[in-house]
C-alpha cells in the first residue's frame, strides 16, 4: 500500500496519582498520507480528544478515575486491499486489545471505497469491535438487523465506590 502507517499509542491516566484498574483502548483509522505535517495534525487531534476525556473540569464524573484511556492512530490508504485491512486489524489493533475503532476517510465521492469499507465493517462485526465511521460510503452499507444489541466489553464494567 502507498499509505504509511505508524501506530502512535497515547496513554492517559487519571488525575491525582490514582492508577485506574482497567484500560479502554480506542484506535483511529485515518486516511493515509505521505505528508508528515498532516499525519502530525491528525495525531494531535486524537491526542487532544483523549486529553479532554482525562482533564475535564468535573473530575468526580470523570470515568478516567476508573479507566485508563489509551489511543492509537493507524493510517490506511483510501482504497485499501483486503490484505492491508487484515494487517491493520490483526497485527496492530487486536494486539493492543482495542475496544472501539474510529474509522474516517476523506473521500467525498460515493462508491470510491465502498467495498473496502464494507469489508472492514464486516470483519470488525465478526470480531465484536464497535466502529464509529465517518465516510460517505456508509450510505451504501447493508443495514444492521433491528434486534442487534450494542455490546460493551465485559471488562468495561463500572464499579460503585
Grid cell 433491528 — which residue?
146
Residue 152 inside a domain? The answer is no
Q: Which one, of 47, 97, 53, 95, lies nearest residue 73 by Cα?
A: 47
Among 5-9, 12-16, 122-126, top mean pLDDT goes to 122-126
**Does the residue 96 lie in any domain?**
yes
Checking if the pLDDT of 128 tops 90, the result is: yes
What residue numbers bound the domain in which 58 lies? 10-140
Question: Mean per-residue pLDDT for 59-75?
Answer: 76
Confidence of residue 130 (pLDDT cuts 50, 70, 90): very high
Any domain includes 155? no
Say what percent of the chain tops pLDDT 70.
60
What contacts 43, CB < 8 A, 6 or more positions away? 8, 10, 73
Q: Is residue 31 part of a domain?
A: yes
pLDDT tens figures, 21-43: 688 888 999 888 888 898 899 88
Average pLDDT, integer, range 73-92? 90
| CATH at residue 77 | 3.40.50.2300
Number of domains in the chain: 1
Section 60-82 average pLDDT? 80
Q: Is residue 153 part of a domain?
A: no
Question: Does 147 reside within a domain?
Answer: no
pLDDT at 142 over 70: no
Q: Check residue 131 and give its pLDDT.
A: 92
The answer, yes or no, to whether residue 114 has pLDDT greater than 70, is yes
Q: Percent of the chain having pLDDT more than 90?
A: 24
Amino acid at each position: 500500500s502507498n499509505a504509511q502507517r505508524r501506530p502512535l499509542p497515547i496513554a492517559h491516566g487519571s488525575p491525582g496519582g490514582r492508577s485506574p484498574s482497567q484500560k479502554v483502548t480506542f484506535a483511529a483509522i485515518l486516511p493515509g498520507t505521505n505528508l508528515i505535517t498532516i499525519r502530525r495534525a491528525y495525531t494531535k487531534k486524537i491526542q487532544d480528544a483523549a486529553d479532554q476525556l482525562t482533564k475535564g473540569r468535573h473530575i468526580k464524573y470523570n470515568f478516567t478515575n476508573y479507566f485508563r484511556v489509551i489511543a492509537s492512530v493507524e493510517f490506511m490508504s483510501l482504497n485499501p486491499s483486503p490484505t492491508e485491512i487484515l494487517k491493520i486489524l490483526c497485527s496492530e489493533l487486536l494486539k493492543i486489545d482495542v475496544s472501539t475503532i474510529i474509522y474516517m476517510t476523506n473521500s467525498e465521492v460515493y462508491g470510491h471505497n465502498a467495498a473496502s469499507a464494507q469489508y472492514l465493517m464486516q470483519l470488525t462485526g465478526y470480531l465484536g469491535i464497535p466502529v464509529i465511521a465517518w465516510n460517505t460510503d456508509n450510505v451504501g452499507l447493508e443495514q444492521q438487523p433491528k434486534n442487534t444489541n450494542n455490546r460493551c466489553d465485559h471488562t468495561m464494567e463500572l464499579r460503585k465506590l
